[in-house]
Amino acid sequence: MATKPLLHHPEDIYSDVGHIILQVGDTYDFGRSTGNAGLRSGWSSPEDVHVWNDGYDAVLSLLIPKVSRPVKFTVEGEPFIIDESPIQEITIYANGYRIAFGKFSVRDQYSISATIYPFQILHSKDGGICEITFHLPNSVRPSEIVDSEDERQLGFCFRRLALA
């Protein structure tokens, strides 16, 4: 069975292909089982139970049913912290609106939560599109700072996201 390619063109933003579809109360686990759905740009290939960013900006697309109240957006994961790269920062945007910021100096599991307001969601007939941008200015290529062949530009290992 052939799969449709992920859409990357602005004119495709209202298509239901290539979005992570989430209802309020849902969680989404990144990794091979969910593939590239919704991962627009700035991502490495999904691994077993997570996906890394690959660059300074990683963009994902959510399709959210119409909401009349604010929703809580939470992302869980682990920053790329090593002695040669001791700080990671992440700024999260929802359709261009800054909704969260985190600064990490310890490699551990973290949850970052923010509120997305209805006016920050681009509404269509079936719900709303929310392009989430993770800006990771301290992302580094392990191959440039330690003895590694990994040429991805890593900042954060994404494991799960949720809407409440």
Where do the domains of the chain lie? 45-163
Q: Return the pLDDT at 66.
A: 81
> In the prediction, which pLDDT does 11 show?
37
Contact between 155 and 80 under an 8 Å Cβ cutoff? The reply is: yes
Instruction: Decide: 50 and 80 in contact? Cβ < 8 Å.
Output: no
SS3 call for 12: helix
pLDDT in tens, the chain (164 residues): 333 333 333 333 333 348 898 999 999 999 998 888 899 999 999 999 999 999 999 999 999 888 888 999 999 999 999 999 999 999 999 999 999 999 999 999 999 999 999 888 877 666 788 999 999 999 999 999 999 999 999 999 999 999 99
The CATH fold of domain 45-163: Jelly Rolls (2.60.120)
